[in-house]
Each structure stands twice: as structure tokens, then as C-alpha cells.
Chain A
């Protein structure tokens, strides 16, 4: 029966493949149709993701609850959790993660992403354990390993273990250039007192990322280096460039906490006056 259903979806999948060449065509209807005929969790995930993108988080929530009630799937939970995390609804995202973990059938990749992101923001998850879990897997796609390595490097930076952080960063940068990681290389270079290398890393980051991005990451770098004054300055610059407080909290909760602290508010007051 399942095979028959999936076979029936083939023409719609073909149509969706054709639509991939036309970005303006609304694919939501097609995905909905594929899901309703084939009942494949992968398409439920896609259906919820597209609904969230097109109709908003409320519509996605309603749909996810309905789909999950009938077909509990960790893929559905992972997608809805990611949408909630995108809105920084950590509680709801965590609920979806826990619901996903209860599902009988497991897609190895569907919940790891959410778990890695939540571990960065909620104390109840052990960030290092999640990173180790991902890095010990030899069958995940590159995105997971790259993200886990980046988080691992940040854990080392937080612990001021510059050499270990540098080794992890080099492991990534030997394979591919990720401009968003240059700030960590910059932090390591600064910690070692290598100004030339720090400037080189900054130049690369500046040319390849949005102008506001280096400021927020430099603020984070200064924060890990323990330089509160520079942290304040770069946070203020990032905010002037349009990075919102919510976004800063989402990028790094420690920086978010610093932003809400009295010391930052005091400095802002001084700057305003």
C-alpha cells in the first residue's frame, strides 16, 4: 500500500522538480499534495517548513500538531523545532526536540541540528556532549560536522584554550573557506599577540561577509579575550549597523546577557551623553 501511494506521488514529484527551475512558482500546493498522497515524513517536514515560510509560524504550528498527532515523526518534530528556534521560542523548540526523541523511527539527522542549537542556549543540554555525539558519527553530512567543529572551537575559545581552538579551526579551513569562522581565527591571533595575522583574518572576514557581521563577531572575540571595553564598543557598532538585540541574543547568549547587563547599559548611557 505504501509503495502504491509513493508511486502515485511520482508525477507530482516530477512536477515539483520542474518547478525548481521557476523560483516564483508556489510549491506549497505540490508539497501538500505529495504529503497527502504519499505520507512520507520527508515531505511532511518540507510541507511544514514551507508553510512556516509562506504563512507564518502560527500556521506551521497548527499543521505540525495535526501532522504529528496522526504520524509522529522525528522529522516533523525537528523541522517544527527549527522553526521555533528561528523565532527564538526556546521552550517550544525544546518541547519539539523531546517529542521527536520519543518517536519510534529515527532519522539520524533530523534532531541533531536542533539539539546542537538548543545546547548553545539552554543549560540543561550539555553542549560538549552534543558536539562529541555529532563528531563521533562517521555518516553525517558535512554541514553537521562543520557546525559541530565550529561549536567545538567556540567551546575551546571560551575556555581560553587557544591552541586547541586553532587546531579545530584549521581542520575546517583546510577543507573549505568559511568566512564566518574568521573571527575565531582573529581571536586566536589576538590572544597570541600576532597583530599581522589578526588583521589578515579581519580583512578576509570583512570582504566576504555583511559589514555588520564582523562587528558582532569582533565583539564576541573581545569578550572571549576578556576585553570588556572593546566588547562594548563593537556591540554598539553592530547595533548601529542594524543588528538587533534579539539577533545578538540568538547569535550568542553570553553576549546577549552582557548586552542586558548594567555595565553595557551604563556605557551606552555614557555614549549617548
Chain B
């Protein structure tokens, strides 16, 4: 389920990225004098012209995909090596260009749900740009590097291309390619974060809510939009479910150690409902969707941690600090009312 949701979130970015990538190769080839791609109908923003059957299926099975390569006749170029280099670079450059546009949209602060769509598109396009520069056929890097290295011809023997596909898959799954991709992605996320997500931690924020070192190591960011709503919030990547678990566990232990007690809460008047209908402290599954938990201390300080995220994309941990209980909230010190259930649930 998690995997399917992840793929569905990646799909729009991948379709957009691959379509623009391949159409850019085709258009550049045409500009440089080769009309083959135009005759094959590849100067088009119709994704169906660019998506390959196996590349799309691979997205669902392997978690990554590819498009139909644009056929190019290098003999039609006036300066074969230089023009083929330009044509091969056009794909990754178009993805970088898309990244810039998407980043611009993020700067316009379009709101959380638009961000949820745009942010993965930005990351996918960054991945497409970087991965395609690897010198492994059929990726663009295998065409770019021979054009750059003196003495090499732009076209190298294609008989090993199947073997190279295997090398690519092994490289992806063994983590070898991750060594190139992850640092780049980390930088990309920082770029995105600097546009979107950074704001200073409020000065009077209790020390107890200091994020764990892991949050900094893994590039969690503070979200400026939610400062009004929450005192502080952290963003995190949701490639894997475990960061949420770890953070929840960290907050829980830290808060209990500082004499905060777990709470049950709900947004409607509990007096109108039977006790059995009250929400317990866990709401939802931290791996899928949203989750909330509340704690209160003897000074009446209330802390509510909310986790909302889209699997495989990005999540937010909102940490709300209230001095006293908000009027719209009906908070019950759960432990006092239901000591047995509290013991069981902990």
C-alpha cells in the first residue's frame, strides 16, 4: 500500500519530467538540423509519445522508470560532436529548467496541498537531471561523455546496452548510484528548504521540544508557514516510515521525562458524548496519513504533536504549544479518568 501510494505521488512528476526531457532532446535535434525526431512525432508534450511500455511498468515494479529514447541522426548535424553534445544535454538541462520553475512556484508560497504536488515534482526532476548524467547507456551521460572526452567518437557500440541496463539496475539497488544521487538530493532539498521551509526556532520555545540531532542530520526543516498555527514544525522526508516512528518515540520519551502527561482529546464537546466514544491518544497510523498526540504538564502547558504526511513525499510534524487549553478544545486528562486503560495503552 505504502509503495503504491508512493508511486502514485511520484507519477505526475515523472510523467512531466520525462515528457519535457524527451521533447527537449527532439526539439534541440530539430533546431540543429536533424528532422528524424520530428518525423517520429517526438516534438510533442503528449506524454504518450514519450512513455515507454517497459519504462512505465518498471516504475510500478522497480520504483523507477524511463521514457522512449529520442532517435537522432548525428550525420544530419553540422558539427556532429558538439551538436550531439548539445542535443544530449538538452534533456537534463530541461529538467533543471523545470526545477527552477517549480522552485519559483514554491517561492510564491502556494499553500500546503500545492506544495505537496510541486515538491515531489521538483525532486523527481532533480533526480532525472542527475541520474541522466551517469555515463551508463542508455542514459544521456553515456552520450555526453564521449562528446567531451577528446579522441572518443559520439557513437559507441550498442551491443552491450542490455548489459549496461543490468549494471544500471544493480547500481541502483546496491546503493552505488545512491552515493552520487543522495548527496545531490540532499543539496536539492536544502535548496528547496531554503526557499520554503526555514524559519528560526522561536526563542521562548521550551527546551524540551528541541529536535533530536537526527532531525538536523537528516535535513528536517522548520516551516515558516505554520508558525502561526504551530509554534514550531519540522519537515521530514518520508522515503521510509521509520523517521516518523523515531521522532514520535523521541518526543514521547523526552516529554514524559519532563513531567508531561499523555492526553486524550477531541474537537467536539466530550460532555455530549459517552466516554466510550472519546478518541484515545493515538489517532491514525503514523505510517499513513495523520496522527496526533497530546501532553500536558502541571503548569497547564499543553503540547500537541501532529504528524501529517503524504507517503513517499514529505511530511510535517507540527508541535503546538498552548499556555492553557484552547477554547475550542476539550482536553481530558485521560490518565486521571481512565487509569486502567491508560496503563494498557502504554
Residues of chain A at the chain B interface (Cβ within 8 Å): 14, 17, 108, 138-142, 145-146, 149, 171-177
Within 8 A of A (CB), among B74-132: 74-76, 80-81
B53-A141 in contact (CB<8A): no
User: Does B75 contact A142, Cβ atoms closer than 8 Å?
Assistant: yes
Q: What is the chain B residue whose CB lies nearest that of A108?
A: B39
- A sample of 21 cross-chain residue pairs with beta-carbon separation below 8 angstroms, ordered by A number, consists of A139-B36, A139-B38, A140-B36, A141-B36, A141-B71, A141-B73, A142-B73, A142-B155, A145-B75, A145-B76, A146-B75, A149-B75, A171-B75, A172-B75, A174-B81, A174-B153, A175-B75, A175-B80, A175-B153, A175-B154, A176-B156
Q: Mark each residue of chain B from 129 to 171: 1 if its CB lies under 8 Å from any CB of chain A, else 0.
A: 0000000000000000000000001111000000000000000
**A141 CA to B154 CA, complexed, in Å:** 16
**Alpha-carbon distance between A175 and B79 when the two chains are bound, in angstroms:** 10
Chain A residues touching B, majority SS = helix
Nearest A residue to B155, CB-CB: A176
In the complex, the answer to whether B153 meets A177 with C-beta atoms within 8 Å is: yes
The reply to whether A145 and B73 form a contact with Cβ atoms under 8 Å apart is yes
- Smallest distance from the beta carbon of B222 to chain A beta carbons, Å? 48
CB within 8 Å of A: which residues of B?
A: 33-36, 38-39, 53-54, 71-76, 80-81, 153-156
In whole angstroms, what is the CA distance A146 to B39 when docked? Answer: 19
The 4 closest A-B pairs by CB, nearest first: A176-B155, A139-B35, A145-B75, A139-B39
Closest B residue to A172 by CB, please name it: B75
> How many whole Å from A42's CB to the nearest CB in chain B?
13
Complex: A140 Cα to B156 Cα, angstroms: 20
Q: Which residue of A lies closest to B75 (CB)?
A: A145
Residues of chain B with a CB closer than 8 A to A176's CB: 74, 153-156
Separation in Å of the B82 CB from the closest CB of chain A? 11
> How many Å lie between the Cα of A176 and that of B154 in the bound state?
7
Q: Give the residues in chain A near B153, CB-CB below 8 Å.
A: 173-177
Given contacts A108-B39, A142-B75, 4 further A-B contacts (CB under 8 A): A141-B36, A145-B73, A175-B75, A175-B154
Give Cα distance in the complex from A138 to B153, angstroms: 21
Report B140 CB to chain A, min CB distance, Å.
Answer: 17
Contacts of B154 in A (CB 8 A): 175-176
The docked-state distance in angstroms from the alpha carbon of A175 to that of B53 is 30
